[in-house]
Amino acid sequence: MNSHLIPAWERELQREALIKQTHHTTSIEGNQLTLEEVSLLIAGKDVLAGEKDKKEVQNYVDVLGYIDSLEENATITEDILLEIHRLTVKGTLPDSSAGNYRKVRIVVGNPKTGKITYTSPEPEEISLLTRSLLDCSNSLIP
């Protein structure tokens, strides 16, 4: 059986998916906005919330638009990845950081115990590691 969605229903389902995806993805990173607030922002309305939280939601929607604008099955390049980073952090990090590799090492740990759970690669290794990951990933795309 081959059925098609009524266009209005399809648009509504896409809108709901965008709202939920945006809310859940940004909340993982600590964004405090509710699902309803995200819905209002995406609809072009303002909400009483922190500017950083609102900017993160707008940036995420912009990133999805950028990804949708890429050719289907496009090779993912370092430039594309850095543009996604730039769009993601635009207005939330200094312009000098947006779309660029970090210049410091990152350590993740438990501040109460002092136990380190992750130490990042050295900053000068990141570009090479990223290109290696992209080469591997792109080789899997038919």
97-128 pLDDT, tens per residue?
999 999 999 999 998 999 999 999 999 999 99
Are 117 and 110 spatial neighbours (Cβ–Cβ below 8 Å)?
Answer: yes
Q: In order of start, what are the domains of the chain with their CATH numbers?
A: 1-100 (1.10.3290.10), 102-142 (no CATH)
Q: Is 46 exposed, middle or buried (0-12, 13-18, 19+ CB in 10 A)?
A: exposed
Query: What's the rounded Cα separation, in Å, for the pair 89 and 99?
Result: 8
Output the CA–CA distances (angstroms, integers) from residue 63 to 9, 87, 100, 103, in the order listed: 24, 6, 16, 23
Q: What is the reported pTM? A: 0.84
Tens digit of pLDDT for each residue in 70-91? 999 889 999 999 999 999 999 9
- Of 10-14, 19-23, 37-41, 45-49, the range with the lowest mean pLDDT is 10-14
The pLDDT value given to residue 28: 95
10 Å Cβ neighbour count for 1? 2
